[in-house]
Amino acid sequence: MLKPILLVEDNPNDLELTLIALEKSQLANEVIVVRDGAEALDYLLARGDWEGRTAGNPAVMLLDLKLPKVDGIEVLREVRGSEKLRSMPVVMLTSSREEQDLLRSYSLGVNAYVVKPVDFKEFVRAIADLGVFWAVLNEPPPGSARYVRPPQT
C-alpha cells in the first residue's frame, strides 16, 4: 500500500496548482490536504478530526512556510522533535526567498526547500520531480514502512 502525500497549504490558488501538478506527475499516492499548521499536526499525531485515520506517516509532507494558526517552522520543529515523526521527509514548499527562512528551515532539519516558481510549467515540473523523488525514488530509513531488509545469505 502506498503511503499518502501530506500537502499543507492555505492559499487556494497554490493548493489547486500543486494538486494539478501532482496529478500530472501520475503518482498513485493519495494526497491528504490540510489548510493550516494546527490541522497538519492533528493529522500527523492522529488527534482531533484525524483521530481515526489509518496509522503511519506520509511518504512526504509538502509544507508551506506561512500558515495560519501554526506556521510551517513550528510544524517542522514539532515533527523533528517527535520520535515517531522525526524520519518523515519534509519539503518546505514556499514563496519565501528570505535567507532567514531558508536557514531556519535547514537548521531544523527540513529535507528540501523549494521556492514556488511563478511560471506554471516550472511549478508543475518542480512538483512532479518532488513527488517522484520523495514518494517513489527516495530510500527511507530502516524501520519505516517501505524499508525491506535484504535477505541474509
Which residue in the block uniquely carries the three cell numbers 523523488? 133
Asked if the structure places residue 100 within a domain, the reply is yes
What is the distance between the alpha carbons of residues 118 and 26, in angstroms, rounded to a whole number?
Answer: 22
Q: Tell me: the pLDDT tens digits for 78-107?
A: 999 999 999 999 999 888 889 999 999 999
**Residues in the chain with pLDDT values less than 70:** 118, 131-153
Number of domains in the chain: 1
The predicted structure's pLDDT at residue 46: 95
Asked if the structure places residue 143 within a domain, the reply is no
What is the distance between the alpha carbons of residues 41 and 74, in angstroms, rounded to a whole number?
Answer: 10
For 144, the grid coordinates are 519505516
Q: What is the CATH number of the domain that holds 40?
A: 3.40.50.2300
Range of the domain at 75: 5-137
Asked if the structure places residue 45 within a domain, the reply is yes
Asked if the structure places residue 50 within a domain, the reply is yes
Asked if the structure places residue 147 within a domain, the reply is no
Asked if the structure places residue 70 within a domain, the reply is yes
The predicted structure's pLDDT at residue 132: 60
3-state secondary structure of 138: coil
Asked if the structure places residue 51 within a domain, the reply is yes
Asked if the structure places residue 149 within a domain, the reply is no
The predicted structure's pLDDT at residue 152: 42
